[in-house]
């Protein structure tokens, strides 16, 4: 677990990179050693519903099948997103520099009073963002939040062929039970501590700060682009572009 000062330094480094690199993701050069940076995760609210829907609709048919356990069509996804309860459940997301959601996790709390201490986890990651451990990081964040919220058992219901999701659960210490085409993963969560509560608070603040930095950077590049267009028009250089 990163200490607060390390989390803060990583976020500041991310912010500086945003102002230097206007593209979606900086590309490593051959032989270049890149310093690992924090993966900012923030809670999503009702105002993010549209971006969540766009993220899910952009998934391939196979990714939709693995995420929902059936061949989800556009209408199914639209209905799912419309039914998200942001007051009861917790939704987490990872944004890129263009403010597009690369990954979304849904921590759904039980509506049955008998199982109030249980929550279900589901996650989706865009094809372009695979291999960056976003699924694992979202699982860790969701588990920490659930523990701090008094949840004792977090589970995942997934297709047995969804090896990526089940591997995330296994690495976290979950027990996986397979029943034909479907599997259940159960993870018993530790009790909340002052450290876990402070860590979640800091991570959420850093996620919010990272999002604001990305908003400001995007606004800056848009303004710069508009200024350049006006300059080209005034100087008669527009025809060259």
* Domain housing 86: 39-226
Element (H, E) at 138: helix 134-148
The residue to which tokens 């291999």 are assigned? 131
In order of 138, 216, 227, 237, the CA distances from 98 in angstroms are 20, 11, 20, 28
Whether residue 64 lies inside any domain: the answer is yes
Q: What is the pLDDT of residue 206?
A: 87
Q: What is the pLDDT of residue 208?
A: 85
Whether residue 144 lies inside any domain: the answer is yes
- CATH of residue 86's domain is 3.40.630.30
3-state secondary structure 89-126: CEEEEEECCCCCEEEEEEEEECCCHHHCCEEEEEEEEC
Whether residue 109 lies inside any domain: the answer is yes
Whether residue 72 lies inside any domain: the answer is yes
Whether residue 81 lies inside any domain: the answer is yes
Whether residue 99 lies inside any domain: the answer is yes
Whether residue 237 lies inside any domain: the answer is no
CA-nearest of 133, 130, 131, 151 to 200 is: 151
Q: How many domains does the chain have?
A: 1
pLDDT tens for the chain, 241 residues: list them. Answer: 444 445 545 544 544 433 333 334 444 444 444 444 578 999 999 999 999 999 999 999 999 999 999 999 999 999 999 999 999 999 999 999 888 999 999 999 988 767 778 999 999 999 999 999 999 999 999 999 999 999 999 999 999 999 999 999 999 899 999 988 999 999 999 999 999 999 898 898 888 888 888 878 777 666 667 777 767 777 766 544 4
Q: What is the pLDDT of residue 139?
A: 95
């Amino acid at each position: 677990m990163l200490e607060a000062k390390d989390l803060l330094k990583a976020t500041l480094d991310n912010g500086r990179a945003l102002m230097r690199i206007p593209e979606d993701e900086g590309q490593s050069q051959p032989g270049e050693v890149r310093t690992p940076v924090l993966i900012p995760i923030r809670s999503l609210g009702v105002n993010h519903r549209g971006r969540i829907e766009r993220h899910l609709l952009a998934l391939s048919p196979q990714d939709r099948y693995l995420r929902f356990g059936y061949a989800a069509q556009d209408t199914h996804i639209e209905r799912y997103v419309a039914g998200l309860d942001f007051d009861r459940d917790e939704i987490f997301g990872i944004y890129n520099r263009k403010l597009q959601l690369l990954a979304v996790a849904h921590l759904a709390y039980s509506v049955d009073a008998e199982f109030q201490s249980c929550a279900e986890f589901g996650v989706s990651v865009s094809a372009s963002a695979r291999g960056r451990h976003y699924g694992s990081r979202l699982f860790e964040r969701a588990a920490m939040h659930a523990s701090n919220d008094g949840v004792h058992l977090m589970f995942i219901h997934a297709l047995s062929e969804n090896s990526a999701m089940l591997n995330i659960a296994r690495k976290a210490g979950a027990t996986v039970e397979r029943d034909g085409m479907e599997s259940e993963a159960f993870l018993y969560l530790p009790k909340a501590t002052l450290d876990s509560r402070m860590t979640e608070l800091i991570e959420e603040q850093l996620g919010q700060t990272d999002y604001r930095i990305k908003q400001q950077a995007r606004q800056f590049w848009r303004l710069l682009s508009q200024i350049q267009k006006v300059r080209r028009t005034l100087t008669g250089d527009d025809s060259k572009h």
